[in-house]
Amino acid sequence: MEKIFLEGLKENDINKLLAAPKSDLHNHSTKGCRREWLSEQLHVDIPKPPQRLDGLEGMQAWFRSSIKPFCDGYENMLLRWEGAFAEAGRNNITRLVMNFGTAEVNQVGTVMGFQELIEGFHKAYCPNSIFEAELTYPSFGNVEQEADEFDKYASSGYFKAIDICAGENVQPFEAFCHFTRRLRNII
């Protein structure tokens, strides 16, 4: 299979690249779907991104200006999650690690309800891929407050890792180390 990927690169053959098994080890759940898929589901024309996005800030700016106006709110968050799994299936992703914020999990209602919903998408679109859910915490968050709620998520055994996001050096990473230790003890 390595051969098909290299051939696809050399030949600029998208079908060979899509057919090659791949891993996606850091997928942002609400941003993992394909623009064309989302446009089709919503029956709207979502603008193409510019040729150059100018880094992570540029990608986020394009997302806010081009996706969010068409696709905001709870139902559309679910649609974007579904689209991320559809894209993983289209791309022959054999191992998928997707991150979700605690606020997103809470919007579903319960951790078990969230797990059932996500596993439904997983089984529908990429049933042969190994899937791991990752819990995201913003680096600017209140670590003590988040720690009080952490066991609610970790005790399910569904989340296999945590991701600290939204800014470097906002507070020391060490502030979050007890999360990883507690998660390691549970899984």
Domains of the chain: 2-40+74-186 (3.20.20.140)
19 is written with which tokens? Answer: 């057919």
Share of the chain above pLDDT 70, in %: 94
Quote the CA–CA distance of 172 and 141 in Å, as a whole number: 12
**What is the reported pLDDT for 151?**
85
Q: Count how many residues are written for the chain.
A: 187
Closest of 133, 141, 136 to residue 116, by C-alpha: 133
**What is the reported pLDDT for 186?**
63
Contacts of residue 183, Cβ cutoff 8 Å, sequence gap at least 6: 154, 159, 160, 161, 162
C-beta separation of 166 from 138 below 8 A? yes
Is the pLDDT at 1 greater than 70? The verdict is: no
Taking only the tens place, the pLDDT of each residue in 140-184 is: 888 888 887 888 898 899 998 888 887 666 677 777 777 777 767
